Amino acid sequence: MNLLTLLPLACATCKADPNSVMAQAQDLAVLVLLGFLALGMGCVGLIVYNFARKQQNFAMAAQA
């Protein structure tokens, strides 16, 4: 079998009808997951920033 015979057998994820409810739900699910990922990475960045700031404050207090 070659690729041209397998192309019509693609699943809804690979070749979806843009007007179908399933494709719209999948698009929204991807955006929601990206939002959760961005929120998680933002929290990790905030934790690292706070640790660095506290370490800098402790270093300045030790010098004084």
Residue for token digits 């961005």?
Answer: 38
Domain that holds residue 47: 22-64
Domain annotation covers residue 11: no
**According to the model, what pLDDT value does residue 28 have?**
92
Domain annotation covers residue 10: no
Please state the pTM of the whole predicted model.
0.63
Domain annotation covers residue 7: no
Q: How many structural domains does the chain have?
A: 1
Domain annotation covers residue 1: no
Sign of CA dihedral 15, 21, 24, 26: negative
Better-scored residue on pLDDT, 14 or 47: 47
Instruction: Say yes or no to pLDDT of 9 above 60.
Output: no
Distance CA 15, CA 10 (A): 6
Q: How confident is the model at residue 1 (pLDDT cuts 50, 70, 90)?
A: low
Instruction: Say yes or no to pLDDT of 53 above 90.
Output: yes
Domain annotation covers residue 32: yes
